[in-house]
Chain A
Amino acid sequence: MKNFKLSAPTLLLLPAIVVLAAVIVLPLLFSFYSSFTPFRLTKPDTLWLFVGFRNYITALTSVDFWIAFGRTVLLLTIALNAEMLLGLGLAMLVNKATMGQRVLRTLMLFPMMFSPVLVGFQFKFMFNDNVGFVNNALQSLGITDRAIPWLIDGNLALFSIIVAEIWSSTSVFAILILAGLLAMPKDPVEAAHVDGCTPWQTFRYVTWPYLMPFAYIAMTIRSLDVARAYDIVKIMTDGGPAKRTELLWTLIGRTAYSDARMGLANAMAYIAILLSILFTVYFFRKLAAARQQIGAEW
């Protein structure tokens, strides 16, 4: 050990490495290990029983898991597309504002300032079939005289959750696309006007290609967000009715804490993370292609 000496950079980085190892790497390794055991929180001894891929096989052959998986992808697809369209519209409108644009930009971010748990509670209240604002409004306007069971009907419940998601997160798209609009050079748009483009053609052929990288950044962020959606669903429906709004992470949470099957839950979690990685890779590829296309220098 006499000749063993750490170089200064290594030495200086060591505290950070130790902290990171303690709070991230070790738990990660531990959870990964436990996904190969029948670990139950109620029976600590089970942690030392190695069962190989049994948890993974159980998860992958479970109908509930695949339904939750599919529903998460469905939610992701609908929410992302809707948020993208709404965010684009919002950004274009704010970009047109000649006065008070700063105020509007701040207002636009309001939904993001609320905790998703509170958003969940608020929408749970608004969609309540008896005292909720939505039914009350519909009935007062004479559109229906029935109490629509927003959170009780299986299909409507997922719809209600999507509405809450969109409300709380459209601003992610709006703010990023607005950033794109503000960063965009004005000349090509003017050139398009002179070249004979209608406003729609200008958007389609000139503005949109510029905004695509920004949209993909928002997509990446939001796909990770939605793929781990938990809080709003937990509050609004808790996966119900009859598991009709069960998503990956509500299922994983339930498996881990209600059923206390931590090993199985960890296995499911690792599969779920795979989904997130897949989406990230996909959108990053798209982003790189879009950036290349507009010859972006960033």
Chain B
Amino acid sequence: MAPVTLRKLVKRYGALEVVHGIDLEVKDREFIALVGPSGCGKSTTLRMIAGLEDISGGEIEIGDRVVNDLPPRARNISMVFQSYALYPHMTVAENMGFSLKIAGQSADEIRKRVVEAAAILDLGPLLERRPSQLSGGQRQRVAMGRAIVRNPDVFLFDEPLSNLDAKLRTQVRTEIKRLHAKVKSTMIYVTHDQVEAMTLSDRIVIMRDGYIEQIGTPEEVFQRPASKFVAGFIGSPPMNLEDAVVDNGRLMFAGGQSLPVPPRFLEKVTTGQKVTFGIRPDDVYPTGHGLHSGDASAVHAMALPVVITEPLGNETLVFITFTGRDWVSRMLNPRPLKTGETVEMSFDLSQAHLFDAATGVSLR
């Protein structure tokens, strides 16, 4: 239980700088997700917090100690690895109790705490097995058990769900959330999966190429993405993004088609300005098959041809041609649509975004 502070944190491998002086304050007992595409520096950042990578510049503070020069064992952290990293020659109980044994705890104390942790994670019947006799999900639970037993200041998770199949991933995800509610420790969670980040965390840190793009609650990063990158990264299917030029209150797209400038951006753009227009699939829908956010005057309707549909049961993803390429829309209460059929589409512009075309920064 401790806050974690990163100050101007830099990581260099030789001449190559992979983390460029990032700042981050993780509050006590907060669940923070570091999310971003491969190679964005999220795992490196986590490994620096763990002490598994040297820090090239800046400072890391855990609790009120600067830990830059402390080895991992002195930082009172626990880490759950992507590959589980269990000790194959030890039983589940030995794996979980290993850190306590190293710390010189009595056998009774170790047993007590292992059993406690096993109860939280439902591992009781597996305590005498070896990792090779466990399924992937069970191994991951053991890895979490090993982390809990130590009662650390900070939990670090390095893509813990990537090696699990989709069903198990959802299940273990729920377990991690429940775990956080129970143990109330600071948790830092690295993932490339925005769904995990959204569902688990109090705040999300979106990283790209060694920089932090945005820090915010799941709602904030979803509804108010700070940049084109965040807009495209968060949300599934991703936001429709298209370059446009502002012309007298309209957005002119390359193919000659146009849309009105979303109302809340009217004051912020001028004619001739190059922007990127963004709108989520939820906010484009066949008229009558979606929900607008309240301001009916901001809904703009247009007849567009259907390219293909992906029925998901309760909803259908409809791909339509607009501005010369495919846009994704989400159709609620779906009815069958044929390829080539022209459908009236509603664009809820109150939910649309505009970004500077060159820098990608939101014009909000």
Contact = CB atoms under 8 A, between A and B. Distances in A.
Interface of A: 185, 187-188, 190-198, 201, 205-206, 209, 293-295
Contacts of B87: 188, 191-192, 205-206, 209
Nearest to B147: A194
7 tightest A-B contacts by CB? A295-B132, A187-B85, A195-B99, A191-B85, A295-B88, A196-B73, A193-B72
A194 B49 CA distance: 11
Contact of B86 (A188, A196, A198): A188
Interface SS, B side? loop
Nearest to A185: B83
Contacts of B77: 194
B188 to A, nearest CB: 13
A195 B98 contact: yes
Nearest to A198: B73
Nearest to B81: A187
A98 to B, nearest CB: 11
Given A193-B71, A194-B77, A295 B85 contact: no
A194 B83 CA distance: 15
Which interface residue of B72, B78, B131 has the most chain A CB atoms within 10 A?
Answer: B72
A294 B88 CA distance: 5
A194 B79 contact: yes
Interface string B32-73: 000000000000000000111000000000000000000111
Contact of B73 (A187, A194, A205, A293): A194
A197 B73 contact: yes
19 contacts: A187-B85, A188-B85, A190-B79, A191-B87, A192-B87, A192-B98, A193-B51, A193-B71, A194-B52, A194-B73, A194-B77, A194-B79, A195-B98, A197-B102, A201-B102, A205-B102, A209-B87, A293-B89, A295-B89
Contacts of A194: 50-52, 72-73, 77-79
B130 interface: yes
B81 A190 contact: yes
Contacts of B71: 193
B83 A195 contact: no
B239 to A, nearest CB: 36
A294 B238 CA distance: 44
B296 interface: no
A195 B73 contact: yes
Interface residues of B, number: 27
A57 to B, nearest CB: 47
A191 B132 contact: no
Interface string B79-115: 1011111111100000000110011000000000000
Interface in B119-167: 130-132, 146, 150
A268 to B, nearest CB: 42
A295 B130 contact: yes
B140 to A, nearest CB: 13
A209 B77 CA distance: 25
A206 B146 CA distance: 15
Given A188-B86, A194-B51, A209-B89, 4 more contacts: A187-B81, A191-B81, A195-B102, A196-B102
A269 B87 CA distance: 45
B85 A185 contact: yes
Contacts of A191: 79, 81, 85-87, 146
A37 B235 CA distance: 89
A197 B98 CA distance: 9
A198 B72 CA distance: 10
Contacts of A190: 50, 52, 72, 79, 81, 85
Contacts of A198: 73
B150 to A, nearest CB: 7
Given A188-B86, A197-B73, A295-B88, A205 B98 contact: yes
A261 B263 CA distance: 110
A193 B71 CA distance: 8
A293 B102 CA distance: 20
B52 A196 contact: no
A206 B86 CA distance: 10
A191 B81 CA distance: 8
A10 B287 CA distance: 78
